Amino acid sequence: MAIVGLRPQPVSDPEPQSPENLRGLVQDRLAETAPSSDGLLALVAREALLGPGKRVRPVVAMLAAAHVGGRAEDALDFGCAVEMAHAASLVLDDLPCMDDAALRRGQPTLHRRHGEDAAVLAAVALLNQSTRLILQSRAPSEARLGALDDLTQAIGFDGLAEGQMRDLRDDPVQRDVVALRRINDLKTGALFVAAARGGGRMGGGDADDLARLAAFGEAVGFAFQLCDDLMDACSTTEALGKDVGQDQGVTTFVNLWGEGRVRAGMRQSLARAAEAVGHDSPLTTYVLHLFRQAQLGR
């Protein structure tokens, strides 16, 4: 049976590298591109960027490049740029004016260690550096500009910033399934869409490839948000290395659907992701493995 959206890989690179190897490439490249100057701003930015993490979004970008017939390494710098934007968003999410989080990845949050001023400025600097990294990459100019458009859209009025504003300020009474899904698509899905679609651009994908990768990213993003809601409600601070119970008093899909239906929704979203790029695609294999590790997709 033919796998929809799956292209054969070029002879020179018949199989994309394993996700663990790709993660190692990302780790090394992030260390190279992190600010090396002295001073508090560079220190805080390095801590935000180089702390423990799975590097899911850059690995997705690199697997997307390989999926459309390019090399995974074609999307390395773009993937690192996405990770910079993600790291910046976490710093901002943790601030007292937003989630007021005390822990992130098992450590005190950056604003608690270094002050709110340093945390905000480090986030801004990382967002700026993500743009520069894409512009300075060796990819063809059309691919660079298209990927940059994908990422900046995911950050601004059609992505993270708008989603966070709605999450903070929307009337809880009006937070039904449709409104909550829109918030989740903006806060979480948009960056996954950018990672997958931008990675496909860097690999030379055509319009059909990019549409399928965008559908993959949207479905994976929703599954991740459902997983995050479930962990906040059901896990512990010790297990996650970050604050739990942050959603108390806030309507989430756990409140609207209950735990069982949320788990079913995760499975359905992952099935849609697989349909978009192919059930045998390394992209599908990778994200399914992540959810099995979390033991929440059962």
The answer, yes or no, to whether residue 12 has pLDDT greater than 80, is no
Average pLDDT over residues 243-258: 73
Confidence of residue 171 (pLDDT cuts 50, 70, 90): confident
- Measured CA distances, 243 to 34, 98, 141, 266 (Å): 27, 13, 42, 22
Q: Looking at residue 96, what is its pLDDT?
A: 93
The top-scoring range by mean pLDDT among 9-13, 215-219, 238-242 is: 215-219
Q: Give the lowest-confidence range in 13-17, 96-100, 253-257.
A: 13-17
Q: Looking at residue 8, what is its pLDDT?
A: 38
- Closest by CA position to 139, among listed 86, 193, 76, 196: 76
Confidence of residue 280 (pLDDT cuts 50, 70, 90): very high
Q: Report how far residue 49's alpha carbon sits from residue 122's, in angstroms, rounded to the nearest whole number.
A: 10
Q: Report how far residue 279's alpha carbon sits from residue 29's, in angstroms, rounded to the nearest whole number.
A: 30
The answer, yes or no, to whether residue 298 has pLDDT greater than 50, is no
- Closest by CA position to 94, among listed 114, 119, 118, 124: 119
How does DSSP classify residue 103?
E
Domains of the chain (ranges, CATH numbers): 19-294 (1.10.600.10)
Residues in contact with 10: Cβ distance below 8 Å, sequence separation at least 6, in sequence order = 69, 70, 71
Q: For residue 4, give the 3-state DSSP assignment.
A: coil
Average pLDDT over residues 69-89: 97
Q: Looking at residue 49, what is its pLDDT?
A: 96
Q: Looking at residue 9, what is its pLDDT?
A: 39
Average pLDDT over residues 179-201: 96
pLDDT tens track for 87-135: 999 999 999 999 888 888 778 899 999 999 999 999 999 999 999 999 9
Angle 171-151-196 from CA coordinates, rounded to 5°: 100
Distance from chain centroid for Cα 171:
26
Q: Looking at residue 2, what is its pLDDT?
A: 32
